Amino acid sequence: MTTSVAEAVPGFTCGLDATLRVIAGKWKPLIIYFLIQGPCRYGALKRAVRGVSDKMLIQQLKELEADGIVVRRDYQEVPPRVDYSLTPLGRSLAQALVPLCNWGSDNMEAVARMFSEREQWQASPTGDR
């Protein structure tokens, strides 16, 4: 039984639901978005996605690869050279992320303000009113 129906089938409740499962994970959207710029070596990607650990980066990349969003190309060289790029599917997904990115840029100040307020609001003893 457990969580039941909604989980049982790959029956997504809507398109957004489907998308969310693909980009679930702290770093995936950032990875995808960064790869719009073109193929990228592992090291460069790691530098671009600030704060990500090796473990996470690799893991997310693997999942994205399994989901047909990115392609891994191994040059079979030493020292290792590998790069990652978007598949056509991945590119279309990346395009869908663009508005989110723009929204963030447009409202960054508001968002930053909200966040700092929220921290205090969390620390406050009782809700007012």
Nearer to DNA, 60 or 94 (CB): 60
CB 71 within 8 A of CB 77: no
Q: Give the interface segment with its own copies, choosing from 28-36, 38-46, 75-83 (CB under 8 A).
A: 28-36
Spatial separation of the C-alpha atoms in residues 14 and 3, rounded to whole Å: 18
Name which of residues 74 to 113 contact its own copies (CB under 8 A): 89, 92-93, 95-108, 110-112
| Binding-site member from 42, 91, 97, 101 for DNA (CB under 7 A) | 42
Any contact of residue 29 with DNA (CB under 7 A)? no
Spatial separation of the C-alpha atoms in residues 33 and 90, rounded to whole Å: 9
In terms of DSSP bridges, do strands 40-41 and 70-74 run parallel, antiparallel, or are they unpaired? unpaired
Q: Give the interface segment with DNA, choosing from 14-22, 36-44, 89-97, 111-119 (CB under 7 A).
A: 36-44
Spatial separation of the C-alpha atoms in residues 78 and 91, rounded to whole Å: 30
